[in-house]
A = this chain, B = another copy of it.
Amino acid sequence: MGLSKSSLSAKAPEERRDLILRATVTVVRDRGFAGTRVSDIAEAAGTSPGLVLYHFGSLNGALDAALTLLEDEFHDDLARDLQEQVGPVERLRHMGDLGAGLGPAVGDWRLWLELWVRALHDPGARETRESLDRRWRAALRGVIEEGIACGDFSPADADAAATRLASLMDGLAIQLALDDPDMSPERLIALWWEAAVLELRMNP
């Protein structure tokens, strides 16, 4: 029995660390930052509270590390996802799908809400939030410019249109995250797409 126990311990510390990180994201997702305890993370990761602190120094350290993991994955997923699409119209449409939670890139909007509130009080979270937002908006802006270049889009003001479409997505997604009965992924996509058509004066 000593063996069976030890087969789990001291084995592949990097894997363990990563496991804990993902467990942290999971716990934050349904408990929120404020409700996440060290023991919750440990339990979700199938390990002991001590190990969480061993790897990350403190609860806050684990939360911060989870945040940066999230940021990196978001970046990679988004870049990969968009590359798979051909042409600005398809890419734009795909960003709508991502916003509706259909892809891995945006993930769960509840996490975004949590991040926003944490950003109100924690400088690290504030930076992560800004960085994530910047990347998302830059991607949107890139798609729009691509569309302008090839004649698919002709917005009156590309900058304003990009900001509005990004903000609209946030606002719609809030309702989705909060399970508002008036919102659904399909409706979000439809509403957002119509706004995009309007803003970008798309050529049919």
Contacts and interface: CB of A to CB of B under 8 A. Distances in A.
How many copies of this chain sit in the oligomeric assembly? Answer: 2
What interface size band does chain A fall in?
A: 35 or more
A32 B119 CA distance: 11
B121 A174 contact: no
Contacts of A102: none
A146 B177 CA distance: 31
A169 interface: yes
Given A34-B34, A113-B117, A164-B191, 13 more contacts: A32-B121, A113-B113, A114-B120, A116-B174, A120-B178, A129-B178, A160-B191, A167-B168, A167-B175, A169-B171, A170-B170, A171-B172, A198-B198
Interface in A18-49: 31-35
Interface of A: 31-35, 110, 113-114, 116-117, 119-121, 126, 129-130, 133, 157, 160, 163-164, 166-172, 174-175, 177-178, 180, 182, 191, 194-195, 198-199
